[in-house]
Amino acid sequence: MSKKKITVDFRFRDKLNKVQGGKHHNYCYQCSACVAVCPAARFTKNFNPRIILLKALLGMEEELIGENSAIWLCTNCYSCYERCPQDVRPIEVIISLKNMAVERRTAPPNLTKLSENIGKTGVSVTVTSAVRRMRQELGLPELKDIPIEELQTILGEQEPQIFQEEEKNDK
């Protein structure tokens, strides 16, 4: 029976090392403490932070930042950050991977639309007159106008930061 060989893709790992929050993946020793506290792993068998870290250690680029990656099932709850004995900060590694996927344009279309909406309007859902009316009926305060130009300036400044360390190192 032929055995499937696994080759570590160090090129992808180098790339991940240079993304903000990515380099801590190197410290993972696969203990599974993060899995024990992960609500997403409890909810679905398709997501497991230890496996995400294992794939990062193996440099499995397509599995991690290709289309339909499991990374998008993470709820960003930060429980794993607290629990990991190795200071891997799994959530931050996952956010780095998400940022890489966005750069590659492989993020789920609904999330891309959501973030575009935030960039344009400052909110994730459209605030219609019906929403405003309902808030009034519920006794909720009026929504404040969002300083959209300030937000767009911040977002514009944030955009190139993903590979900032790489750029610095290249100089």
Stretch that binds ligand SF4, among 14-22, 84-92, 111-119, 144-152 (CB under 6 A): 84-92
Nearer to ligand SF4, 29 or 150 (CB): 29
Q: Is the dihedral of CA 58, 62, 68, 74 positive or negative?
A: positive
**DSSP letter string, 113-155:** HHHHHHHHHSSSS---HHHHHHHHHTTPPPPPPP-HHHHHHHH
Report if residue 101 touches ligand SF4, rule: CB under 6 A: no
CB of 69 to ligand SF4, least distance (A): 13
* Cα–Cα distance for residue pair 154/119, rounded to 1 Å: 10
- For residue 153, what are its two tokens? 């300036």
Specify the DSSP class assigned to residue 101.
Answer: H
Whose tokens are 């605030």? That residue is 127
* Contact call for residues 22 and 90 (beta carbons, < 8 A): no
Member of 19, 60, 84, 97 binding ligand SF4 (CB under 6 A):
84
Stretch that binds ligand SF4, among 2-10, 90-98, 108-116, 145-153 (CB under 6 A): 90-98
CB of 83 to ligand SF4, least distance (A): 6
Number of shown-chain residues binding ligand SF4 (CB under 6 A): 27
CB of 33 to ligand SF4, least distance (A): 4
Restricted to residues 21-80, the positions that interact with ligand SF4 (CB under 6 A) are 28-34, 37-40, 49-50, 53, 74-80
CB of 7 to ligand SF4, least distance (A): 21
Least Cα distance to 90 among 59, 150, 48, 62 occurs for 48
Least Cα distance to 69 among 81, 60, 78 occurs for 60
Binding site for ligand SF4 (CB under 6 A): 28-34, 37-40, 49-50, 53, 74-80, 84, 86, 88, 90-91, 94
